[in-house]
């Protein structure tokens, strides 16, 4: 029984070591491509800022809190009218993917102002195009 137990422990450690080793190799590949990825990211942001195709208006309309996840007393205290708004710049690239820069402020669940700003990217798949 001890021999079998030892073999199981060795197998377990070999599996764990293999998993960690493969992850480290993957991380190395990610860092090797980090410069290329960051350059593409910066270029997409710059192009969206300098050559927007659309100007977007953001108007939050409703916030919904999952009734199954909270009791009624809690949901009654939450703000579900997120007053606020925002503005954005967006464009479509040659692959049909969307890029956008946005800034927005709205009232959160606790009725406090929540400012956000960022860059968004959405990949699109058009198999019949």
Residues forming the active site: 65, 108-109
Residue 103's Cβ-side half-sphere holds a number of Cα atoms within 13 Å equal to 1
Single out the residue of 57, 64, 101 nearest to residue 82, CA to CA: 64
Residue 128: strand, helix, or coil:
coil
Q: Are strands 84-92 and 113-122 parallel, antiparallel or unpaired?
A: unpaired
Q: CA separation (Å) from 39 to 34, 36, 79, 83, 121?
A: 8, 5, 41, 37, 15
């Amino acid at each position: 029984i001890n021999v079998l137990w030892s073999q199981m422990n060795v197998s377990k450690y070999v599996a764990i070591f293999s998993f960690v080793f493969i992850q480290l190799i993957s991380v190395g590949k990610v860092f090797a491509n980090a410069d290329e990825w960051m350059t593409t990211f910066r270029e997409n942001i710059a192009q969206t800022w300098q050559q927007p195709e659309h100007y977007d208006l953001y108007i939050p309309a409703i916030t919904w809190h999952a009734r199954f996840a909270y009791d009624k007393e809690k949901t009654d205290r939450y703000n579900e009218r997120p007053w606020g708004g925002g503005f954005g710049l967006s464009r479509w690239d040659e692959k049909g993917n969307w890029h956008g820069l946005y800034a927005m402020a709205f009232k959160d669940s606790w009725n406090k102002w929540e400012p956000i700003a960022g860059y968004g990217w959405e990949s699109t798949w058009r198999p019949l195009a």
